Chain A
Amino acid sequence: MADFLLELRCEEIPARMQKGARAELQKLFKREMDGAGVTTGDLTIWSTPRRLALIARGLPTATEAVRDEAKGPPVAAPDQAVDGFCRKNGVSRDQLEVREVKGRETYFAVIEKPGQAVADLLAAAIPSIIRDFSWPKSMRWGETSVSSESVKWVRPMSGIIALLDGEVVECVTEDLTSGRVTKGHRFHSEGEIEIASADDYVAKLRDAFVIVDQQERATIIRDGARDAAKAAGLTVVEDEGLVVENAGLTEWPVPLLGRFEDDFLDVPPETIQLTARVNQKYFVCEGPDGKLANAFICTANIAADDPAVVVDGNRKVLAARLADARFFWELDQKKTLAEHAKGLERITFHEKLGTVADKVERVAKLARWLCEQRIVAGDPDLAEQAARLCKADLVTEMVGEFPELQGLMGGYYAAKEGLPAEVSDAIRDHYKPVGQGDDVPIAPVTVAVSLADKLDTLAAFFAIDEKPTGSKDPFALRRASIGVLRLLEENSLRLKMHLLFERQFNDLLDHFQQSEETIIRRDVVDELDEVGALNPSKSTSFDVAEIRHEVEAPIDTGYVFELLDFFADRLKVQQREAGVRHDLIDAVFALGGEDDLVRLLARVKALQAFIETDNGTNLHAGYKRAANILKKEKWEAPDNLDGKSVSYSPETSEKALVEALNDAAPTAAKAVEEERFEDAMAALATLRAPIDAFFEDVTVNDDDPAKREARLNLLARFTNAVGNVADFSRIEG
């Protein structure tokens, strides 16, 4: 057994790429060794800004000889076939063996692969690993780069160590030859360091001020920052991302605490934290009162002669940045948000959709409408006011400098201006929910603005046919739709989505009819117009199924339907993640006419609870059986099946099913109407025993045509009653 050390040294690797690079090195090393038939045991992979290292312990020193046999053509086969077989296996004809297979003389090729020295295999593997290594961005360098084909790496490579049990594994890349020397810390170590084997690598580097294990560096930074804050009577604001980033920027991390001037604390703490974090990679601290303190922690990469000098340099840089932030903060407040909002007329939202000011106008109308319709319980005036101001901070200096602060700064400026808290909160939070873990707004005015903003974005981009495709979603429409779904669900908002999208579509249309350029898909407009979808006076009810039916058009089923389908897909994805079965969602969607998300989900959840019970499973089986019989018999039941009397005396089980249906069908229908879906399921459950007994005791295809007709009609009645609650044919299992 042997231990292998590989070190690939290069100029500073971006911190954000190091984790991926470790995984890539592991993957490629395994690929090479597996391909060569070498079993790899434990692999240790490390990275610093200037090196990737791998230690593989317990490698064999040689692979075992392998004997492969290949069965060829029969001896009687034509020469061509035999020659082809020989070529394929790299043997000559006289090396073939002849054996009997099922009474036929057959050729066999026996291929002996001798064992190979693992050192040789490694020597061949290393250049392949380097050549195939995938970096997010890579580059060429130096003299060899006179060719476009020269080797690529994240930054110029500077050295390779390859040692198998202390012996150099010799390999060559374009400009480097493997060896046993490396370099230590850029400033604390001079000259070359000779490594004996995998065993002294870590210690030798540590002596040269390099901590090769990124986890150890992260621990030093995490603990060091905590201790430094504690010593100053403060608490560090924990930030694991920053810990990892600093560990990727240093080989010898030394956290140092510095102070900045108190005055800067006047600006919102988020701006201080952001500028410290993003621009400078500093941690910030909180005082005993939980408020941001005037302290930062930077992570130096040297044990400085005088740490105070390093701290003071960093303090100056931070002070300059905070001075900028304060300048922006004060400058921005010289105008009201309403004045800032005028600047949105100069910002293009999308070349086909006009300016951000145009968008704001639509959002403001929609937010007001949502409140006026009592879909959201907010004050219409406040919702409109908040919507009109919600994007104003995009033209402030602060958000220009820190785009991440959009919304938040608007909220601060609104509060400073003395606008109502509902308005400033809505401005602050209207982008939410952003990610999966993000809070969903519940304050009504915020909900109205947040919903209106997202719905408008969706309607607008679908109207110009900019839908997400595959992995491409440049306008983050999937995220917007998930945001809408979460807002609706968590606030239990009752909303006919197609109505709303049609409304938004009209609004967009108005805008573009005023401007010369009508870019919204005319074909869709015309079609929807024909069926009255765009003109409320022409249509009395908006039933999606009905519109869908009428617009069963040859080309385009229209923008609203595309959007509703898109929502249905997002809903399925979202609910699947939450453990809801997608076939059950389909079963409810298939009923048609349902785009009220809250009601839909209530129905799906009741259905899922029911279908997982014994009664549910069996009823589903009964439904399938009934539906199959009807299909097989191509049975078309008359329209009104209820209360039809029969001319013969029905069998007991038949009668029982009739009676059960007489009871359950209206009960279930009423329950559905009143949105008591559990009760609807309970009504269906009463059908389980009768349908089971019916199939047990009664022959449907009776010789007597009257009996056959009555029984098929009975089954049709049964499937109708069940199908009224959900389309059971969509349910899997």
Chain B
Amino acid sequence: MTVDLPERDPTRSFQDMILTLHDFWAANGCVILQPYDMRMGAGTFHTATTLRALGPEPWNAAFVQPCRRPTDGRYGENPNRLQHYYQYQVILKPSPSDIQELYLKSLAAIGIDPLKHDIRFVEDDWESPTLGAWGLGWEVWCDGMEVTQFTYFQQMGGFDCKPVAGELTYGLERLAMYIQGVDSVYDLSFNQHGVSYGDVFLENEKQMSKWNFEVADTDALFDLFTKAETECRNALNNDVPIAAYEQAVEASHIFNLLQARGVISVQERASYMGRVRDLARGSCEKYAELKAPEWAEKYPEWSLI
């Protein structure tokens, strides 16, 4: 039995745009992962990015990561701002010499013609003190709109990336709004059958904005933060840094929720960020140290430091 699937149309369907990117990066050697099943602020937090950026082994992956930014919630009233949205994340390690060309081809695949639209690579370096990480790169502009973050990771968890990984982070809603020519994210066609982005997410934005800003029990959140911190240390003490890292991600998100609830003062803010940073860096360090002997054996020219 043969099944005829309809043609994908990334210019008229949000999900087709995502599926086209999956097709494209799968064809270029990436494993297509599903989102990490935890709340996180950016695709970079996915272990497929952070932890895999460490060590000498090649790694090529692409995935969608739902991102939670509690303070960006606008109760569904702002056409551009969301507390929950999608990033499309590609990680290529080592960074291939044709990475820019690959990226531009992926844009062409979803319907952006570089002779019709002005595509530009504008300096934008990336730094995450929380992860002990930094990289150089660009924000990619399409007719003046930032559509992608493009970064060559230089350090992660305080270690030099050896080799360097290239990271692409597409802002999916923005790109789709551009490609579909709509001014409000809620007007995006989610599929080719009349379902809009608003049908899927508007109610979610309303309720979650309310919960983030007004409802969430702050005592419980403070408690969760402390518990995540404690559990992270427990995991580190027992040499399971991946589990520890998950708790760091959890603590980071709880901190963001506390921020949205407005219960962390300016003075306390730095201290909380420092605590999250210690957890995340500690987990990355432990992971790298634990794996280093295995890596060094496979790659004699490689060393952790």
A residues whose Cβ falls under 8 Å from a Cβ of B: 11-12, 14-16, 49, 137-148, 154-156, 158, 175, 186-188, 249, 280, 282, 298, 300-302, 304-306, 309-310, 312-314, 316-318, 320, 346-348
CB of B143 within 8 A of CB of A145, answer no
CB of B118 within 8 A of CB of A146, answer no
What are the 8 closest A-B residue pairs judged by CB atoms, nearest first? A313-B143, A14-B123, A12-B121, A314-B144, A145-B164, A145-B163, A187-B114, A300-B118
Tell me which of A138, A145, A304, A313 contacts B162 (CB under 8 A): A145
Q: How far is the CB of B118 from chain A (nearest CB, A)?
A: 4
A selection of 27 A-B contacts at a CB cut-off of 8 Å is A11-B121, A12-B121, A12-B123, A139-B136, A139-B154, A140-B152, A142-B95, A142-B164, A146-B163, A146-B302, A155-B152, A156-B97, A156-B152, A175-B97, A186-B104, A187-B114, A187-B119, A188-B115, A301-B119, A302-B118, A305-B116, A310-B117, A310-B118, A313-B142, A317-B144, A348-B266, A348-B267
**Cβ of A280: which chain B residues have Cβ within 8 Å of it?**
144
**Cβ of B115: which chain A residues have Cβ within 8 Å of it?**
187-188, 302, 304-305
**Cβ of A141: which chain B residues have Cβ within 8 Å of it?**
94-95, 152, 164, 166
- State whether the Cβ of B40 lies closer than 8 Å to any Cβ in chain A: no
CB of A304 within 8 A of CB of B118, answer yes
- State whether the Cβ of B280 lies closer than 8 Å to any Cβ in chain A: no
Q: How far is the CB of A298 from chain B (nearest CB, A)?
A: 6
CB of B120 within 8 A of CB of A142, answer no
Tell me which of A138, A146, A316 contacts B94 (CB under 8 A): A146
- State A148–B120 Cα separation when bound (angstroms): 30
- State A15–B164 Cα separation when bound (angstroms): 23
- State whether the Cβ of B138 lies closer than 8 Å to any Cβ in chain A: yes
B153-192 near A? 1/0 per residue, CB < 8 Å = 0100000111110100000000000100001000000000
Q: Name the CB-closest residue of A to B98.
A: A158
Tell me which of A49, A139, A146, A148 contacts B121 (CB under 8 A): A49
- State A49–B121 Cα separation when bound (angstroms): 9
- Beyond the given A146-B94, A155-B136, please list 14 additional residue pairs across the A-B interface where CB-CB is below 8 A: A11-B100, A15-B123, A139-B135, A141-B166, A142-B97, A186-B119, A282-B144, A304-B117, A304-B118, A309-B143, A310-B116, A313-B144, A316-B143, A317-B145
B89-101 near A? 1/0 per residue, CB < 8 Å = 0000011110010
CB of B266 within 8 A of CB of A346, answer yes
Q: Name the CB-closest residue of B to A15.
A: B123
CB of A314 within 8 A of CB of B122, answer no
**Given A146-B299, A317-B143, A346-B266, are A12 and B138 neighbors across the interface (CB < 8 Å)?**
yes
Q: How far is the CB of B23 from chain A (nearest CB, A)?
A: 23
Q: How far is the CB of A317 from chain B (nearest CB, A)?
A: 4
- State whether the Cβ of B237 lies closer than 8 Å to any Cβ in chain A: no
- State whether the Cβ of B241 lies closer than 8 Å to any Cβ in chain A: no
**Cβ of A145: which chain B residues have Cβ within 8 Å of it?**
94-95, 161-164
CB of B94 within 8 A of CB of A142, answer yes
B residues whose Cβ falls under 8 Å from a Cβ of A: 56, 80, 94-97, 100, 104, 113-123, 125, 135-136, 138, 142-145, 152, 154, 160-164, 166, 178, 183, 265-267, 299, 301-302
CB of B96 within 8 A of CB of A301, answer no
**Cβ of B116: which chain A residues have Cβ within 8 Å of it?**
304-306, 309-310
**Cβ of A298: which chain B residues have Cβ within 8 Å of it?**
144
- State A186–B125 Cα separation when bound (angstroms): 22
- State A148–B56 Cα separation when bound (angstroms): 12
- State A139–B122 Cα separation when bound (angstroms): 16
Q: How far is the CB of B117 from chain A (nearest CB, A)?
A: 6
Q: How far is the CB of A671 from chain B (nearest CB, A)?
A: 57
**Cβ of A139: which chain B residues have Cβ within 8 Å of it?**
135-136, 152, 154, 164
CB of B94 within 8 A of CB of A148, answer no
**Cβ of A156: which chain B residues have Cβ within 8 Å of it?**
95, 97, 152
CB of A313 within 8 A of CB of B94, answer no
Q: Name the CB-closest residue of A to B81.
A: A324
**Cβ of B302: which chain A residues have Cβ within 8 Å of it?**
146-147
Q: How far is the CB of B246 from chain A (nearest CB, A)?
A: 28
- State A111–B234 Cα separation when bound (angstroms): 71
**Cβ of B120: which chain A residues have Cβ within 8 Å of it?**
249, 301
**Cβ of B162: which chain A residues have Cβ within 8 Å of it?**
145-148
**Cβ of A348: which chain B residues have Cβ within 8 Å of it?**
266-267
**Cβ of B161: which chain A residues have Cβ within 8 Å of it?**
140, 145
CB of A316 within 8 A of CB of B183, answer yes
CB of B163 within 8 A of CB of A142, answer yes
**Cβ of A186: which chain B residues have Cβ within 8 Å of it?**
104, 114, 119
Q: How far is the CB of A135 from chain B (nearest CB, A)?
A: 10
**Cβ of B166: which chain A residues have Cβ within 8 Å of it?**
141
Q: Name the CB-closest residue of B to A324.
A: B80
- State A429–B183 Cα separation when bound (angstroms): 39
**Cβ of A155: which chain B residues have Cβ within 8 Å of it?**
136, 152
CB of B96 within 8 A of CB of A142, answer yes
- State A249–B122 Cα separation when bound (angstroms): 7
CB of B160 within 8 A of CB of A316, answer no
Name, among B122, B138, B160, the residue most crowded by chain A CB atoms within 10 Å (CB to CB): B122
- State A317–B144 Cα separation when bound (angstroms): 7
Q: How far is the CB of A229 from chain B (nearest CB, A)?
A: 18
Q: Name the CB-closest residue of A to B159.
A: A148
**Cβ of A154: which chain B residues have Cβ within 8 Å of it?**
136
CB of A143 within 8 A of CB of B94, answer yes
**Cβ of A137: which chain B residues have Cβ within 8 Å of it?**
125, 136
Q: Name the CB-closest residue of A to B266.
A: A346
Tell me which of B125, B266, B301 contacts A347 (CB under 8 A): B266
- State A301–B114 Cα separation when bound (angstroms): 10
Q: How far is the CB of A616 from chain B (nearest CB, A)?
A: 57
Q: How far is the CB of B77 from chain A (nearest CB, A)?
A: 11
- State A302–B118 Cα separation when bound (angstroms): 6
- State A90–B154 Cα separation when bound (angstroms): 45
Q: How far is the CB of B100 from chain A (nearest CB, A)?
A: 6
Q: Name the CB-closest residue of B to A282.
A: B144
Q: How far is the CB of B79 from chain A (nearest CB, A)?
A: 8
- State A137–B104 Cα separation when bound (angstroms): 25
Q: How far is the CB of A447 from chain B (nearest CB, A)?
A: 32
**Cβ of B299: which chain A residues have Cβ within 8 Å of it?**
146
Q: Name the CB-closest residue of B to A146.
A: B163
**Cβ of B100: which chain A residues have Cβ within 8 Å of it?**
11
- State A155–B160 Cα separation when bound (angstroms): 16
Q: Name the CB-closest residue of A to B104.
A: A186
- State A16–B95 Cα separation when bound (angstroms): 25
Tell me which of A144, A148, A188, A313 contacts B178 (CB under 8 A): A313
- State A154–B152 Cα separation when bound (angstroms): 11
- State A148–B164 Cα separation when bound (angstroms): 10
Q: How far is the CB of B5 from chain A (nearest CB, A)?
A: 31
Q: Name the CB-closest residue of B to A309.
A: B116
- State A14–B123 Cα separation when bound (angstroms): 5
Q: How far is the CB of B57 from chain A (nearest CB, A)?
A: 10
**Cβ of B266: which chain A residues have Cβ within 8 Å of it?**
346-348
CB of A302 within 8 A of CB of B114, answer yes
- State A314–B143 Cα separation when bound (angstroms): 5
- State A320–B185 Cα separation when bound (angstroms): 13
**Cβ of A301: which chain B residues have Cβ within 8 Å of it?**
118-120
CB of B144 within 8 A of CB of A148, answer no
**Cβ of B138: which chain A residues have Cβ within 8 Å of it?**
12
Q: How far is the CB of B54 from chain A (nearest CB, A)?
A: 13
**Given A11-B121, A317-B145, are A147 and B301 neighbors across the interface (CB < 8 Å)?**
yes
- State A158–B163 Cα separation when bound (angstroms): 18
Q: How far is the CB of B146 from chain A (nearest CB, A)?
A: 9
Q: How far is the CB of B48 from chain A (nearest CB, A)?
A: 20
CB of B80 within 8 A of CB of A320, answer yes
- State A501–B253 Cα separation when bound (angstroms): 47
